[in-house]
């Protein structure tokens, strides 16, 4: 790995682990947030831009994983949280101030891999479930060879990388695998932090990306933007219709098109049926309280979220995310107004 890529990755890790938009001396209103690493690059861009236009407001967002973000929210040590796993009804019921979930962006979870000699790797549904069940252990396994005729697949072991922390990205990925495989559903199940039968553990989307960059023969699940920014190869996956589809904005939109947004604002597309849909796509949520005792914080939070829903949506696609459909933006705005 060349020095430039190491420098870029180091900068990404530092900025995503902790961002504090300094406001100078004009004011000291501070909004504290924590949670998902999946949307962190986009959120950090939003918060920086918002701070530039509103230097009296500081926004401090810590990318600590969805599980830790939800815990901090329930402990009331943050003003907002972020999660790719939304929030469990039982947990929401414990929050006396009320909970408002807001889908703020969407994105694809990709299977990024480190095999420079095999660009355009295709993985069938059987292939990638088998890899994460620990049943397919070599890159030249007959099942992978079958999906990649003519490819120079090495006989080396597959080094699987999984998340070490309580992760919404893991929740979404395990939910997808469980939808594909009754065996996976029974033996591993849907969880923020499952007991994987195989894999080296790394913290955050940032950590998995770093492990993939430095470990030949590795494969792991990360948010598309992380893999794209580091020029990692991403597998082309077989979807429910039997088509092999790459992760793009259009294929993610095709997956989301089937999702109906209910009143609680939580919608899943665990295994989309559309023929041109990428198979692993999810919304990711900001979590706000319905009541804020500090009116200044509430006003600032509303303005911050509304920025993300308007001008902020223009930042989504360049960073590898999917802009929200108009009906979701409208639902979010109405919910924010009611806080």
Sequence-distant (≥ 6) Cβ neighbours of residue 335 within 8 angstroms: 100, 102, 265
Per-residue model confidence (pLDDT) at position 258: 83
The stretch 92-113 carries a mean pLDDT of 97
Alpha helices in the chain, H assignment, sequence order? 3-17, 40-53, 66-74, 89-93, 125-132, 142-147, 168-180, 182-187, 204-214, 224-229, 249-256, 295-309, 326-337
Name the burial class of residue 55, with classes exposed (0-12), middle (13-18) and buried (19+) by CB atoms within 10 angstroms of its CB. Answer: middle
Per-residue model confidence (pLDDT) at position 22: 42
pTM of the predicted model, to two decimals?
A: 0.89
Residue 78 has pLDDT above 70, yes or no: yes
Per-residue model confidence (pLDDT) at position 247: 97
Per-residue model confidence (pLDDT) at position 12: 52
Q: 3-106+283-337 is classed in which CATH architecture?
A: 3-Layer(aba) Sandwich (3.40)
Measuring CA to CA, how many Å separate 129 from each of 111, 123, 209, 242? 11, 9, 20, 15
Which CATH fold topology does 108-281 show?
Answer: D-Maltodextrin-Binding Protein; domain 2 (3.40.190)
- Please state the domain extents for the chain: 3-106+283-337, 108-281
pLDDT tier at 102, thresholds 50, 70, 90 = very high
Residue 122 has pLDDT above 80, yes or no: yes
pLDDT tier at 11, thresholds 50, 70, 90 = low
Average pLDDT of the chain is 92
Alpha carbon distance 284, 85 (integer Å): 7
Supply φ then ψ for residue 222, to 5 degrees: -145, 160
Q: What percent of the chain has pLDDT over 70?
A: 92
The stretch 131-135 carries a mean pLDDT of 98
- 3-106+283-337 matches 108-281 in fold: yes
Helices 3-17 & 204-214 angle (0-180, nearest 10): 170
pLDDT tier at 259, thresholds 50, 70, 90 = confident
Alpha carbon distance 223, 121 (integer Å): 18
Per-residue model confidence (pLDDT) at position 20: 44
Residue 218 has pLDDT above 80, yes or no: yes
Residue 335 has pLDDT above 80, yes or no: yes
The stretch 280-295 carries a mean pLDDT of 97
Supply φ then ψ for residue 221, to 5 degrees: -100, 125
């Amino acid at each position: 790995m060349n020095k430039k890529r190491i420098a870029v990755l180091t900068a990404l890790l530092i900025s995503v682990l902790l961002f504090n938009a300094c406001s100078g001396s004009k004011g000291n209103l501070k909004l504290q947030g924590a949670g998902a690493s999946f949307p962190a690059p986009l959120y950090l861009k939003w918060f920086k831009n918002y701070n530039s236009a509103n230097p009296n407001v500081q926004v401090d967002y810590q990318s600590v994983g969805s599980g830790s973000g939800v815990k901090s929210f329930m402990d009331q040590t943050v003003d907002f949280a972020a999660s790719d796993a939304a929030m469990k009804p039982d947990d929401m019921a414990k929050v006396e101030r009320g909970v408002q979930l807001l889908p703020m962006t969407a994105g694809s979870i990709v299977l990024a891999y480190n095999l420079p000699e095999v660009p355009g790797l295709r993985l069938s549904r059987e292939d990638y479930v088998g890899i994460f069940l620990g049943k397919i252990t070599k890159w030249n396994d007959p099942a992978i060879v079958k999906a990649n005729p003519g490819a120079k697949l090495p006989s080396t072991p597959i080094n699987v990388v999984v998340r070490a922390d309580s992760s919404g990205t893991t929740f979404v990925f395990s939910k997808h695998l469980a939808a594909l495989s009754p065996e996976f559903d029974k033996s591993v199940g849907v969880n923020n932090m499952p007991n994987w039968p195989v894999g080296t553990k790394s913290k955050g989307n940032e950590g998995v990306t770093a492990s993939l960059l430095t470990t030949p023969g590795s494969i792991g699940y990360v948010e598309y933007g992380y893999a794209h920014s580091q020029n990692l190869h991403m597998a082309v996956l077989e979807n429910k219709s039997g088509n092999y589809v790459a992760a793009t904005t259009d294929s993610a939109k095709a997956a989301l098109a089937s999702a109906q947004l209910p009143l609680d604002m939580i919608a899943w597309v665990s295994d989309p049926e559309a023929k041109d849909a990428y198979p692993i796509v999810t919304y990711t949520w900001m979590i706000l309280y319905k009541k804020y005792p500090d009116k200044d914080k509430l006003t600032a939070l509303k303005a911050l979220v509304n920025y993300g829903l308007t001008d902020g949506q223009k930042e989504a696609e360049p960073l590898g995310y999917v802009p929200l459909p108009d009906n979701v933006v409208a639902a979010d705005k109405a919910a924010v107004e009611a806080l």
